[in-house]
Amino acid sequence: MSSPDVTGWDVSLSHLPDHIRRAIEITPAAGTSERIIDITTLGRRTGRARRIEIFFYRAAGTTYLCSGAGGAATDWHANLLANPTFTFHLKNGIRADLPARATPVTDPAERQAVLAEIVADLNQPHDPGTIRPTRLEDWADSRLMRISFRHRPSSRPPASSS
């Protein structure tokens, strides 16, 4: 999905300002601080805003949130299942509050490919905060969400056709 869908959400980052796009387009060389964001979800029972700190990941040119090894239930995941819109807060270097939408990744082939890329990234020599070696089988039951960002139409008026 490289162009916005009919609801205005886009997994591509091309519509974001360059400095924000660069902050999200992390590579395996990114350090821990570059991977840490906050997210604000709505509580599934209370409807109140809940802000937490979490790592985000990039795999196959897409942004993901993942619960990590073990796959234990998490409030952020349950909240996003109940209300998939949330705020993605960049906070290290670049500060931005981005409207975002989470979609659970349930297709087994996609999950395997994305988790394999995340685990390979975590096993890089810089090790962004995990204990190595990180094993793919330990991440098999992880909560995994694909993130799309609100596509904002250009504020420029359309070109004249005359």
77-131 pLDDT tens trace: 999 999 999 999 999 888 999 999 999 999 999 999 999 998 888 877 665 555 5
Neighbours of 10 (CB within 10 A): 20
> Cα–Cα distance between 139 and 114 in angstroms, integer?
11
64: amino acid identity, one letter: Y
Residue 59 pairs in a beta bridge with 62
Q: Give domain status of residue 160, yes or no.
A: no
On whether the CB atoms of residues 151 and 9 are closer than 8 A, the answer is yes
Q: Tell me the average pLDDT across 67-71.
A: 77
Q: Give domain status of residue 42, yes or no.
A: yes
The pLDDT value recorded for residue 129 is: 54
Mean pLDDT of the chain: 84
Q: Which CATH number is 13's domain given? A: 2.30.110.10
Q: Give domain status of residue 155, yes or no.
A: no
The pLDDT value recorded for residue 22 is: 92
On whether the CB atoms of residues 36 and 53 are closer than 8 A, the answer is yes
**Structure tokens, 48:** 């109140």
Q: Which of 88, 79, 75, 78 is nearest to 20 (CA)?
A: 88
Q: Give domain status of residue 88, yes or no.
A: yes
The pLDDT value recorded for residue 135 is: 82
Q: What is the pLDDT of residues 26-41, one digit of tens each?
A: 887 787 788 899 999 9
Q: Give domain status of residue 4, yes or no.
A: no
Q: What's the domain range around 78?
A: 9-150
Q: Give domain status of residue 162, yes or no.
A: no
Query: In sequence order, what DSSP letters do the residues of 89-129 get, joined into one string?
Result: EE-SSS-EEEEEEEEE---HHHHHHHHHHHHHHHTSTT--S
Number of domains in the chain: 1
The pLDDT value recorded for residue 125 is: 67
Q: Give domain status of residue 140, yes or no.
A: yes
Q: Give domain status of residue 3, yes or no.
A: no
